[in-house]
């Protein structure tokens, strides 16, 4: 049977994951909220 506690102690994240995480967090990505806020601003300017 797998001892999850022991396996977690041995776990070491791969360097690729850490590099990808850094690249993702360092970028300023536009999400749906940003798009909706921009659309609201445009509609309000048109009034």
Cα-based angle 8, 11, 12 (whole degrees, multiple of 5):
150
Our count of domains for the chain comes to 1
21 in a structural domain: yes
19 in a structural domain: yes
2 in a structural domain: no
List, for residues 1-46, the tens digit of each pLDDT value: 899 999 999 998 777 888 888 877 887 778 888 899 999 999 999 8
23 C-beta neighbours (distance < 10 Å), count:
9
40 in a structural domain: yes
**Structural domain boundaries, residue 39:** 14-46
34 in a structural domain: yes
1 in a structural domain: no
42 in a structural domain: yes
pTM here is 0.40
3 in a structural domain: no
């Amino acid at each position: 049977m797998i001892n999850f506690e022991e396996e977690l102690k041995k776990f070491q994240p791969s360097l690729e994951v850490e590099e990808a995480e850094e690249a993702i967090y360092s970028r300023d990505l536009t999400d749906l909220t940003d798009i909706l806020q921009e659309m609201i601003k445009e509609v309000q300017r048109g009034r």
